[in-house]
Chain A
Amino acid sequence: MRIALISLLLILTGQSAWAATNIEHWTTKQGARVYFVPAPNLPMVDIRVTFDAGSARDGKQFGIAALTSGLLDTGAGEWNADQIAQRFESVGARFGTGVSRDMAWLSLRTLTDPKLFDKAVATMQTILTQPRFVEADFQREKKRTLAGLKHRESSPSTLADIAFYKAVYGQHPYAHPSAGEIETVKPLQAKDLKNFYRQYYVATNAMVAIVGDLSRKQAEQTAEKLLAKLPAGLKPAELPEVAMPKQGRREHIAFPSAQTHVMSGLPGSYRNDDDYFALFVGNHILGGGMLVSRLFEEVREKRGLAYNTYSYFAPMYRKGPFAMGLQTRTDQADKAMEVLNQTLTEFIEEGPTEEELTAAKQNITGGFVMRFDTNSKMIGYVEMIGFYGLPLDYLETFQEKVNAVTVDAIKDAFQRRVDSELLQTITVGEAQ
């Protein structure tokens, strides 16, 4: 592959358009929000139930959100893990769970043939409402988690990412990795997970996204059925605001790798941010575009310093990171970092040219329809719009907002929001 897809974060969680115009929205009896896009062309449906129960809700027990999510389908109602897996797989359904910093979700893809669909949905409902957290399953999954946490110490890019978040977020709940830390996962008990589940997996803290071949009525019934047995519960308290770092900082982690991994950034943008479109379009020019951007040109095309170089804003409920990065052989890491910083500094000072802005708008709006041309991509947008409370016409107005961005707006937004004096820079590699 000519380039890895790492730099796409913002684009992928950003936006898209076909059935964009008709996101239907309602609230279930217990108060869960539902977002539905009919997609009648294929006899299948994607369903996601999402809670504000990501790792930002870990408290001091880093990793509890992830482990709770991982335990859900290992035993529920009368079924053990094998039986649950068989119930889904015997009807060709795909089920999964996961967490990010903001969210915890359960996802289902199934055919809509009633025999298959009903069995898959009934299984998902049981997992959602009656997980068992059996001690033996808990111990096994904890061991597997600990093995994963240990293994990540052999990956320089993962080490860089973890250190980067720590540096950028300090004491904020976004600071630690979603999977947790070895020291905080070890003492966890099954009862801790049960408590976490009871507190956060409640109807008022849930949203449901549905994209697929269902009627509105079927979608309503499905959402009601899925959540019927969840208590209404309470919404958790708002996450704290992210404080900007007081000063720039550089940290090196010694590691015996051929490449030095570089990540640099600071708290960036959040969902519902007034500056979002200026930052998004600006970043597209700086380092967000796939094979065409200033960083790609300066780092890779002109100097051959890296295979992959990028910048992104990853907006979250609170300020998600603005990050730039690359990987390069250690003896040229300083040179590469200089190019990275120089490119950013110039961009902040001068902004993009009119030509660059026009090209970026052409790329973003010209490819707009491709942002949601599959059910998979569509449900990602529906979930994002629902979870972050973005306007339902977010996709409809997206192109307009991109087109309204000016060179001055980008310059102004970057100057206010990306202070290069405050950059947190991590390098992982051999000492130079």
Chain B
Amino acid sequence: MKLQIASAVLSGMFLLPVQAAVKVHERILDNGLKILIKEDHRSPVAVSQVWYKVGSSYEPGGITGISHMLEHMMFKGTDELKPGEFSRIIAANGGNENAFTGRDYTAYFQTMEKSRLEVSFKLEADRMRNLKLLDEELQKELQVVYEERRMRTDDKPRSKTQEHFAALAYSNSPYRNPIIGWPTDIENYTIADLEAWYQKWYAPNNATLVVVGDVEPKAVFALAEKYFGPLKPSDITPVKPQTEVEQLGIRRMIVNLPDKLPYLVMGYKVPVLNTAEHEWEAYALEVMAGILDGGSSARLESGLVRGKQIAVAAGAGYNLNSRLDELFMFDATPAQGKSHQELEAALKEEIEKLKYELVQPEELQRIKAQVLANATYERDSMFYQGMQMGINETVGLGWQKADEYVDKVNRITAEQVREVAKKYFTDNNLSVAYLVPQPIAEQTGNEKLKESK
């Protein structure tokens, strides 16, 4: 019954960096394309991912969500390929493929039997520079994206609450905008908008190619050179900083939506690896997330769900590898008969404890054991290993950052955890939203209409 945290990326994947015990082979082509290769010979499979340094946090007002829209249009043909042909070729080669857009990246991937890697490179290189944007295709795909928004957000009260919450918590950071975009922005994209966005960001010198699998690095570099090498680089103008301004007091919001249960979201403004004055602060916040929500023995589950029984579910989360300052998030569902206020007070009590009491040695030991074990577990997935490298590289941390993770987390002390709690978990940094459930008016038994076919 763990609930999703608002700051999770659109794809809903929860990420923790891991120790990369395996060597990474790196090369940068003359046109600026960075290539990262990790060998994994357990199975005759290769994952290929292309990561572009663009996502919803790069978007100006009026065209929010355009990175995601462009992601959809990337399947709609190039000078060489008809709409949909990309997917048919991948499918005929036994491939799995898809794409996802986050706040800080847009990524495309294929997983194929290893001998088909060339197919993937050929097609990805083609659409990196030769996309053909057709208005007729845009009009149809816009409908698809509206439906996607309705499905993901509009008909999901908690998702909608999280969307509104982000817009409340951030003043000027682009993280205030939803990845899929605000409704009227989606309605008004033009082919010219998409063309401009594609020209601005899709180039080899703004991308990273990641390959994980049963491959031989030299051969992969040669293959990459063959297909991506001839592509022309662009002049990439760096995105403006848009650093979030200081928050000057607690922010509160009520969201009234038809739903069956109340729900609460809270977030404190915190730095990430990219922005922290002292890097250890980000690792200390990471440890804090583990203390609060790193399993069933962690404080929220043990203290609030089982102990006080004030919540039927409670979670906390933090992404330390975001590009910009983040929110350290809490979300929880009150137990029957408990109010939002009581639940908020109970969460705050846990937070106060972190500020004034040192966490127990057993708690730190547990987190370290989990981090170490995860570093092994995560190697079970080639896709995940690729994602680690891709994200770290794309947000500007560099893929090597993942190698430091276990060691850096291990060095965090109880005093450092207390220090970041004191520094960042203040009311001035806090935003709170209550979802207050409204009756679901139309759903009454009598209105059930039955008819024979």
The answer to whether A binds B is yes
Is A54 in the interface zone, CB < 8 Å from B?
Answer: no
Q: How many A-B residue pairs have CB under 8 A?
A: 261
Is B256 in the interface zone, CB < 8 Å from A?
Answer: no
Q: Which partner residue on chain B sits nearest A252 by CB separation?
A: B449
Among B94, B99, B370, B376, contact of A365 (Cβ-Cβ < 8 Å): B94
Q: Knowing A143-B336, A255-B442, A369-B44 touch, does A148 contact B369 (C-beta < 8 A)? A: no
- Interface majority SS (helix, strand, loop, mixed), chain B: mixed
Q: Which partner residue on chain B sits nearest A110 by CB separation?
A: B373
Query: B452 and A1: CB pair below 8 A?
Result: no
Is A374 in the interface zone, CB < 8 Å from B?
Answer: yes
- Interface majority SS (helix, strand, loop, mixed), chain A: mixed
Interface residues on B, range: 35 or more
Q: Knowing A154-B259, A249-B453, A290-B96 touch, does A370 contact B45 (C-beta < 8 A)? A: yes
* 1/0 contact string of A1-39 vs chain B (CB within 8 Å): 111100000000000001000000000000000000001
Which of A79-87, A190-198, A228-236, A409-417 binds B?
Answer: A79-87
Chain A residues near B223 (CB, 8 Å)? none
Among B365, B371, B380, contact of A44 (Cβ-Cβ < 8 Å): B380
Among A86, A144, A306, contact of B297 (Cβ-Cβ < 8 Å): A86
Shortest distance in angstroms between B63's beta carbon and chain A's nearest beta carbon? Answer: 19
Is B42 in the interface zone, CB < 8 Å from A?
Answer: yes
Query: B94 and A111: CB pair below 8 A?
Result: no
Is B312 in the interface zone, CB < 8 Å from A?
Answer: yes
Is B61 in the interface zone, CB < 8 Å from A?
Answer: no
Q: Knowing A2-B100, A247-B453 touch, does A301 contact B84 (C-beta < 8 A)? A: yes
Is B228 in the interface zone, CB < 8 Å from A?
Answer: no
Chain A residues near B260 (CB, 8 Å)? 150-154
Which of A219-227, A256-264, A272-280, A314-322 binds B?
Answer: A256-264
Interface residues of B in 147-170 (CB under 8 A from A): 147-148, 150-151, 154-157
Among B45, B144, B437, contact of A369 (Cβ-Cβ < 8 Å): B45
Is B271 in the interface zone, CB < 8 Å from A?
Answer: no
Chain B residues near A372 (CB, 8 Å)? 43
Shortest distance in angstroms between A75's beta carbon and chain B's nearest beta carbon? Answer: 11
Chain B residues near A204 (CB, 8 Å)? none
Among A153, A329, A359, contact of B91 (Cβ-Cβ < 8 Å): A359
Query: A329 and B146: CB pair below 8 A?
Result: yes
Interface residues of A in 338-381 (CB under 8 A from B): 359, 362-370, 372-376
Interface residues on A, range: 35 or more
Q: Which partner residue on chain A sits nearest B450 by CB separation?
A: A251
Query: B296 and A301: CB pair below 8 A?
Result: no
Among B10, B94, B369, contact of A89 (Cβ-Cβ < 8 Å): B369
Chain B residues near A430 (CB, 8 Å)? 442
Among A92, A302, A308, contact of B151 (Cβ-Cβ < 8 Å): A308
Interface centre among A39, A146, A327 (most CB of B within 10 A): A327
Binding site for A on B (CB under 8 A): 1, 10-11, 42-45, 71-72, 75, 83-84, 87-88, 91-101, 111-113, 116, 139-148, 150-151, 154-157, 258-261, 294-298, 301-302, 305-306, 309, 312-313, 333, 335-336, 362, 365-366, 369-374, 376-377, 379-382, 437, 440-444, 447-453
24 A-B contacts (beta carbon < 8 Å):
A1-B100, A4-B151, A18-B44, A42-B380, A81-B296, A81-B306, A89-B294, A89-B295, A151-B333, A153-B260, A153-B443, A154-B259, A250-B452, A258-B155, A259-B155, A292-B91, A303-B143, A306-B147, A327-B150, A329-B146, A363-B91, A367-B96, A374-B382, A425-B453
User: When A and B form their complex, which 4 residue pairs have the shortest distance between CB atoms, in order from nearest?
Assistant: A366-B94, A92-B373, A304-B143, A85-B297
Known: A147-B261, A154-B258, A251-B448. 8 other contacts (CB 8 A): A89-B294, A147-B312, A156-B155, A253-B443, A369-B44, A370-B113, A374-B380, A374-B381
